[in-house]
Structures are given as structure tokens and as C-alpha cells.
Amino acid sequence: MSAQEITLTVPVTMPILITPRLRINEMTLADCAQVERLASDERVARTTSGIPHPYPVGYSRAWILSHLLNFVNGVGAHFAIRLKNDNTLIGCIGLGLDKANDSAGLGYWLGVEYWGHGYCTEALHVIISWAFAYYPLQRIEGDHLGTNPASGRVMQKVGMTYECTRRAHYKKNGVLCDLCTYSILRDEWQDKQRLQH
Ligand SMILES: CC(C)(COP(=O)(O)OP(=O)(O)OC[C@H]1O[C@@H](n2cnc3c(N)ncnc32)[C@H](O)[C@@H]1OP(=O)(O)O)[C@@H](O)C(=O)NCCC(=O)NCCS
């Protein structure tokens, strides 16, 4: 048996992260319909890089299946965000890993009906804590479109630092948009956690 075959037979379980209101865990194929329903809303796709609009039928299945492979291969960690009380999937959050540079890039979105309750901030806080504990990262960063200040506000609220705005840097639906970048370094995160306890 080759090394690759051996690796693929090792069962992998993704972590389960619990916050006061949320359960953040792996997505399964049972989530396809809900992901498709929430991500199909143009208001979600409008400001998110990885969501096509119109949302193609069957796209959520391929996307969810890619998560476990990405996690096993150490290139990404993507999770469902669920309400703890009834397990409803309300959105997604994840990291793309850049191992060569000890860094990771954030992505997240919520279904429109769940916006404005602090859920993304709650999810982002626990994901950053987990990521610095689980991976030897020095830096976690996130970008948002200039037209999407709510996403910047989420990153501010967890203590990330605004770095820059790259003008006309990202083409969304054929239109070049400004891209704003936030980051946090391992030492900064640890200092913030110490101060809070
Ligand atoms: C961005 C998004 C994830 C935020 O999720 P959320 O759970 O509503 O975020 P939170 O409630 O934790 O925090 C949102 C903050 O943004 C603020 N906000 C909302 N709209 C804003 C606006 N137009 N300008 C400035 N701040 C805004 C809110 O007031 C809140 O800050 P506050 O707590 O200080 O009042 C959600 O709107 C979303 O999924 N949007 C579509 C997909 C997307 O843009 N993903 C991010 C790609 S970079």
C-alpha cells in the first residue's frame, strides 16, 4: 500500500468549536440544501469572493466535499456556523492556509436572515483562537470589498488591525473594486487574550 493510500484511510475528524450561541463544526452533505438556499441570495454573493451568482445547482455538494480533502491536505479549514439551540446552519467560516508563510486567509458569510446579531463576530473570535492553537501560524488576515464595511467591522471587533486598501484590486462581476485588508499576528492575539483574562 502506498503512503498516499495509507493517509487516505486514516479517519479525520474536524474540531467542534462551541461558543455561547454557536456550534462551529464540519459541513456534511446533509447541509447541501441549506447552503444552497442561503448562498443563492444575491446579497450574500455580492460581497463574497467564492460564491457565484446565480448559484449553480449542485455547487454546494462539490464545495462541501472539497472541505474534508482540504483539511486533510492542510490547505484549508472550513466550517459550518450553526445555532447551538437547534443546530440550524446559518453560514460558513474558514481559513485558507499558506503554510510556506505561516499565514492564513479568512473567509465567512451568513444567510441574510442571520445578519446583525453578532454571530459572525462570535464565530470569528473562536476560529482565530482555534487556528493559532492548532496551526503554527504567525499571521491571520482577511480582505473585504470597500463596499462591504460590515465585514471590516467584524474584523475590528475581534481586534484585527486595518492594514491597507488596495484600490481597484479585485474584479467582482466584471467591476474592479477596492480591497481592504486586516490582519492579526500571533503575539498580538495572545496579548489580547491575556489582557481579557
Ligand atoms: C459581513 C457579515 C459576515 C457580517 O455578519 P454579522 O453576523 O451580521 O456581523 P456582526 O453582527 O458580528 O457584526 C456586524 C457589524 O457591522 C456593522 N455594520 C453593518 N452594516 C454596516 C455598514 N454598512 N457600515 C458599517 N458597519 C456596518 C454592524 O453594526 C456590526 O457592528 P457593531 O456590532 O459595532 O454594531 C454578513 O453581513 C454577511 O454574511 N455578508 C455577506 C457575505 C460577506 O460579505 N462576507 C464577508 C466577505 S469579506
Write out pLDDT tens, residues 45-87: 999 998 999 999 999 999 999 998 999 999 999 999 999 999 9
Confidence label for 197 from pLDDT (cuts 50, 70 and 90): confident
Confidence label for 148 from pLDDT (cuts 50, 70 and 90): very high
Quote the ligand 1 centre to 152 CA distance (angstroms). Answer: 8
Sheet of 161-172: strand order equals: 17-18, 22-25, 76-83, 89-98, 103-110, 139-145, 175-185, 161-172
Mean pLDDT on 84-94: 98
Determine if ligand 1 sits within 6 Å of the CB of residue 112: no
pLDDT at 4 over 70: no
Quote the ligand 1 centre to 191 CA distance (angstroms). Answer: 25
Q: Output the pLDDT for position 9.
A: 52
Determine if ligand 1 sits within 6 Å of the CB of residue 62: no
pLDDT at 89 over 50: yes
Determine if ligand 1 sits within 6 Å of the CB of residue 109: yes
> pLDDT > 70: what percent of the chain?
94
- Structural domains of the chain, ranges and CATH numbers in brackets: 3-138 (3.40.630.30)
Helix axes 186-196, 119-134, angle to 10 degrees: 120
